């Protein structure tokens, strides 16, 4: 009896088995990252600025609209393919990985799920062609308590007038389109949250200070300032007062993307460590011949493989239409732990050289730290996992 006959969804593809299309896509993303992104990584990190020509190439190669249907100008791929691209880009540069991650797993996904047909026709082709997107939820007093928003939206005729300030917004320096969350009434709590589509040139909207960060330095992180910013009611994403649903459901998918980013960071650091261990000689032979180094690398490789399976599992579940909340939280939590551990031990494999900017592994260590912080801290992921396995929500 078929799965459809029993009313069950078809089983997801085995985690480690990629279809021919997925294999070709992954290989192309890996080659693109190595040849096109690789030569710019050091300078972008030093300057803290993302190369604009690279972003144009991201658009030209279809990496900014991987999952968007072809009817809206996208590549018509799957969420799993977006995850593969984030992983391969992050293996070379975590900043490049997060640029396409936010574009695909947050901004475009939110529009595809919650947008009206008019909104999809107006904005999705731009996001696939030439417009970078940003996702603006965080505020100075709203981090893990994501819905303690102070940015206000007041109804005036056929517009909403927004006032407030957003903080820690990824891609903000380059973005031309923002999905931004504000409250229509703080007394309503999370039921007052509303999502808005805001174009960069909207009067009363401006991009403020750009943060000088420890890691992912080329990726812009900025504040947003709204001063009597008038947004047409037609630009409400989803329903008024249902912004919390837009945020929660989109961030659940975004966690898988961050898991993929951290997987890529771990892979990149490990590959450098393996290569260096075979080149570096001490006591007359490569350090890779010492059992201590062999065991260290073997443990790291095992951790990376476990992280890969968790990320791929969550992505497969999402594409299969199955519940993935717990698995997404686990993937993000575990991958960020692995990335930091692998990058740290890669520095140790390099010894004193690893502590200098002349070698690449110190950057992987700096880049890895953000994985435990953004799109839900590690503690918030553990809380989500605990609720799922203890069924706490069912008791309240």
Write down the catalytic residue from 223, 340, 345, 375.
375
Strand-pairing partners, residue 347, are none
H-type alpha helices, the chain: 20-32, 41-47, 52-60, 79-92, 94-101, 109-114, 117-129, 243-279, 291-319, 325-350, 361-368, 378-390, 392-395
The pLDDT value given to residue 15: 66
Task: Find which of 26-40, 146-160, 183-197 is predicted with most confidence, using mean pLDDT.
Answer: 26-40
Our CA dihedral for 292, 294, 298, 304, rounded to 10 degrees, sits at 100
Residue 3: pLDDT above 60? no
Residue 4: pLDDT above 70? no
- In order of start, what are the domains of the chain with their CATH numbers? 20-132 (1.10.540.10), 135-241 (2.40.110.10), 245-395 (1.20.140.10)
Could you tell me the pTM of the whole model? 0.94
Place of tokens 């574009």: 103
Distance CA 388, CA 396 (A): 13
* Residue 375 is among the residues annotated as catalytic for this protein: yes
Contact between 207 and 227 (Cβ < 8 Å): no
Buried b (16+ CB within 10 A) or exposed e, 340-350: bbbbbbbbebb
Buried b (16+ CB within 10 A) or exposed e, 295-328: ebbeebbebbeebbebbbbbbbbbbeeeebbbbb
Looking at every residue in the chain, the average pLDDT score rounds to 94
Residue 368: pLDDT above 50? yes
Residue 147: pLDDT above 90? no
By the 10 Å C-beta count (0-12 exposed, 13-18 middle, 19+ buried), 72 is classed as buried
Cα-based distances in Å from 292 to 111, 129, 302, 342 = 50, 50, 16, 15
Residue 146: pLDDT above 90? no
Fill in the DSSP letter of residue 246. H
Distance CA 257, CA 106 (A): 9
The pLDDT value given to residue 16: 64
* pLDDT, average across residues 333-350: 98
* pLDDT, average across residues 182-206: 95
Work out the pLDDT band at 72, boundaries 50, 70, 90.
very high
Written as six digits, the tokens of 189 are 């709590």
The residue that leads in pLDDT, 15 or 343, is 343
């Amino acid at each position: 009896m078929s799965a459809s006959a029993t009313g069950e969804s078809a089983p997801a593809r085995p985690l480690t088995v990629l279809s021919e299309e997925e294999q070709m896509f992954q290989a192309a993303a890996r080659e693109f990252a190595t040849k096109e992104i690789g030569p710019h990584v050091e300078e972008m990190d030093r300057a803290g600025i993302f190369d604009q020509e690279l972003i144009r190439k991201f658009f030209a190669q279809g990496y900014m609209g991987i999952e968007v249907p072809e009817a809206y100008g996208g590549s018509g791929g799957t969420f799993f393919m977006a995850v593969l691209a984030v992983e391969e880009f992050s293996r070379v540069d975590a900043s490049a990985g997060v640029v396409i991650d936010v574009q695909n797993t947050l901004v475009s996904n939110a529009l595809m799920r919650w947008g009206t047909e008019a909104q999809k026709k107006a904005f999705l082709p731009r996001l696939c062609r030439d417009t970078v997107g940003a996702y603006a939820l965080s505020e100075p007093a709203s981090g893990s308590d994501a819905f303690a928003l102070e940015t206000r939206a007041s109804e005036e005729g056929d517009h909403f007038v927004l006032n407030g300030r957003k903080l820690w917004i990824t891609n903000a320096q380059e973005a031309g389109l923002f999905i931004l969350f504000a409250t229509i009434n703080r007394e309503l709590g999370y039921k007052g949250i509303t999502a808005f589509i805001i174009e960069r040139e909207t009067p009363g909207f401006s991009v403020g200070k750009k943060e000088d960060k420890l890691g992912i330095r080329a990726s812009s992180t900025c504040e947003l300032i709204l001063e009597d910013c008038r947004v047409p009611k037609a630009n409400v994403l989803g329903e008024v007062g249902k912004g919390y649903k837009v945020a929660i459901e989109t961030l659940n998918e975004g966690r898988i993307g961050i898991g993929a980013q951290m997987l890529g960071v771990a892979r990149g650091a490990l590959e450098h460590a393996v290569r260096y261990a075979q080149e570096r000689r001490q006591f007359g032979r490569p350090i890779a011949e010492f059992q201590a180094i062999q065991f260290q690398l073997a443990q790291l490789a095992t951790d990376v493989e476990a992280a890969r399976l968790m990320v791929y599992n969550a992505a497969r579940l999402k594409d299969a239409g199955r519940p993935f909340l717990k698995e997404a939280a686990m993937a993000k939590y575990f991958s960020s732990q692995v990335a930091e551990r692998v990058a740290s031990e890669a520095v140790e494999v390099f010894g004193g050289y690893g502590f200098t900017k002349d070698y690449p592994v110190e950057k992987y260590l700096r880049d890895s730290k953000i994985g435990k912080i953004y799109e839900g801290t590690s503690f918030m992921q553990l809380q989500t996992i605990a609720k799922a396995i203890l069924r706490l929500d069912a008791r309240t």
